[in-house]
Structures are given as structure tokens and as C-alpha cells.
Structure 1
Amino acid sequence: MTDPSALAHAIDARCRLHGEFVLRSGAVSDEYFDKYLFEGDPALLRRVAEAMVALLPEDTQVLGGLKLGGVPIATVVSSLTGLPAVFVRKKAKEYGTRRIAEGGDVDGRVVTLVEDIITTGGAVRNAAMALRDNGAHVSTVVCAIDRSAPDDSVLPAVQVATRSVLTKADLDAAAG
């Protein structure tokens, strides 16, 4: 079993960068959290995936990794559990298979979404709704880090519960 405090320290040490960074909003910050650094580190990625396994609902039939950050995590969780994984696009391609989810069928199956970081839940909401339109039963997302502020998540409105390995508060405490 992964110690959450030790995992928070390891992720924070690997991903919290100091310097001058332009944020998505256009603001400049002296600190930046680069989530891809833990996803690109095999040992750290495995620790996150192992912690996620314990959070999966028992009725999960398929893991749905959200593009881009949820894909490597879902792949490792799939390897650890033997559950099949699909990879969920932001929108279906207009060519080829034209699917929203690549890698397998979701119709009639219980899909647990897998995401790296949730801030408001907008991408998760969109993926849940798209998968439901394709016949999937989606009611849970498991994420590595939930950094949403209280009452900011859009997920309760679409009946999607969030289970997280770590929160922003966990990472801030680790940096403290």
C-alpha cells in the first residue's frame, strides 16, 4: 500500500518547478506544477497507479483514460488489474473509426474514468456525457490529484463522483 504522505512528497519534489512561467490564464508565476513529470517517471507513475487500484469501484468493467494525461495512468492501472482500458478523446475523429473512445467497446459497460488532475471537472464531465451517449454507464472518476476548490466541481451536477489519490492540499503540505 502506498503511503499518501510519501507519495505527495515524491510527486511534489518531482513536479513543482521554480522559475518564471506564463500560465494558461496569461498570468506570470514563479512556480509551476508539471504533471507530466510524474507521468513520465515509471516508478512514480506505478506508485500513483497502485494507489488508484484501491479506489476503483468494484463494479468497474472498463477503465477510461482521458486524453492526454489519463492515458498513461489508465494503461498502468489496466496492467495491474487486468481490466481493459479505452482511451477517451476530447472529440471523435472525423476519419477512421470516428470513435470517442479507442481501444474497445463501452456500450452497456461500467466505465470508470481515469484522469491525472482535476481542477473543475469540465473535461471529465464532457467525457462522461460522450461515453453515456455511446451506451456506457459512467458514475466515477479516479484521479491522481484533485485540485478543485470546494464547490467548483461540475461533476456532481452530472452524477459523477470523484475519488482522488491526492489533493492540492496534500501537495501543498508536502511542499511546506
Structure 2
Amino acid sequence: MERLELARRIQQVAHLTGEFVLRSGITTGEYFDKYRFEADPVLLDEIAAAMVPLVPAETEVLAGLEMGGIPVVTALGRHTGLPCAFVRKEAKGYGTRRLAEGADVAGRRVLVVEDVVTSGGQIVLSTEELRALGAEVREALCVIDRGQGGGEALEGVDLELLALLRADDLKAAVTRH
């Protein structure tokens, strides 16, 4: 599927109008609900297929971040055949007490996978924790980079941001259709 068409479909599914209160407390008439494209199995599969060429060749494990990165990494793993790790925001206090569930990350080249990147803050935190566990992390891959400082934040911890789409791609897809 062509990137512009994929961007149009994501925007069509995830762009909502109404009255929404953002995390900042600001009320807005528009909202981008990323979980709507993640909940559509056909669209999510097409997104994952389009992301495959962006996965660095040296990648040994795909690490999806809680919560939005989990469905994306699972779909991407199906297309690449790579094992997946599911990374919590903090290690659970019971059972295995692990931060990263699923595939082992120690001593392996790990690609962090996220749905949407805004500030990049959670990727930075999770990357530091994965590195402390012995993972070699050089890149993070996302479906959408909102272009609001995430890439720069990741550069600060020697991490390259790879993005399938940018916020401008979503806007362009709507205006060209």
C-alpha cells in the first residue's frame, strides 16, 4: 500500500472531532486516537508490512513499549519473524518481576517499537532501562512521529528515530484526497 494512502486511512480512522480534554488540560475540538488504528486488525497489518523495510538488518529483538507499542510490535513480529519483548513502564512487583517480558534482550540488538512519538520521553526512559539489562539499543521505530521534539530527545541518548509517517504526512493525505 502506498504511504500516502496508508496515511489517509490512519487519519480517517483515528481523527476524531468533538470536545476532548488533553493531558495538558487544554480542551480541543479535534483528537487523534491512536488506539483506533491499532484496534483495526487489517489496517494494523498493513502498517506493520509497511514498517518492515525500516527495521535495521542487525535487529535481533523487537521491543514494544507499554501500551501502544504492544500491538504494533506483535504485528511487526509476524511480518519479520523476529522475537518480541513487551516492555513495561516499570517492572511488576510480583511473578517474574521483569521489566521486559517475552524474548530475552540481554546481549542482543534490540529495536524499540512505539506507536506514536511526541516528546520521546518514555522511549528515553525505556531505552535506558533496556540498556541496563544488557540490550544494545541504537534505534527506535514508530508508526507516527508527531514532530514535537521526540527525535531530538532520542538523539540525546544516542538513539535514532525511524518513522513510517510524520504528522505532516497525515495532514497531506487528507488535503490531497
* Aligned-pair CA distance for 1:151: 7.7
Structure 2 CA distance for aligned equivalents of residues 84 and 152 of structure 1: 25
The amino acid of 1:41's aligned partner reads D
Q: Which residue of 2 aligns with 1:154?
A: 153
Q: What percent identity do the matched residue pairs reach?
A: 48
Q: For 1:50-100, what per-residue CA distance to the aligned partner results, in whole angstroms no more than 9, with x for missing partners?
A: 111110000000000000000011001111111000000111111111111
SS state at 1:172 partner: helix
User: 1:73 and 2:72 equivalent?
Assistant: yes
Q: How does 1:107-146 map to 2 (within 5 A)?
A: 107-146=106-145
User: 1:88 and 2:94 equivalent?
Assistant: no
Tell me the C-alpha RMSD between the 2 structures: 1.2
Q: How does 1:1-176 map to 2 (within 5 A)?
A: 2-149=1-148, 153-176=152-175
SS state at 1:171 partner: helix
CA 1:98 to 1:126, structure 2 compared with 1: closer, same or farther past 3 Å?
Answer: same
Deviating 4+ runs (over 4 angstroms): none
Structure 1 CA distance for aligned equivalents of residues 152 and 79 of structure 2: 29
In the superposition, the TM-score normalised over structure 1's length comes to: 0.96
* Aligned-pair CA distance for 1:152: 6.7
Structure 2 CA distance for aligned equivalents of residues 79 and 170 of structure 1: 26
Structure 2 CA distance for aligned equivalents of residues 148 and 68 of structure 1: 21
In structure 1, stretches of 5+ residues that fail to align are none
Structure 2 CA distance for aligned equivalents of residues 82 and 17 of structure 1: 34
Structure 2 CA distance for aligned equivalents of residues 151 and 58 of structure 1: 23
Kept after mapping to 1: 8 A contact 2:119/2:149: no
Structure 2 CA distance for aligned equivalents of residues 152 and 137 of structure 1: 19
Kept after mapping to 1: 8 A contact 2:111/2:141: yes
Deviates most, 97-106 or 57-66: 97-106
Structure 2 CA distance for aligned equivalents of residues 26 and 77 of structure 1: 34
In the superposition, the TM-score normalised over structure 2's length comes to: 0.95
In structure 2, stretches of 5+ residues that fail to align are none
The amino acid of 2:55's aligned partner reads L
Q: For 1:96-120, what per-residue CA distance to the aligned partner results, in whole angstroms no more than 9, with x for missing partners?
A: 1111100121110000011000001
Higher helix proportion (structure 1 or 2): 2
* Aligned-pair CA distance for 1:148: 2.4
**Aligned positions, number:** 175
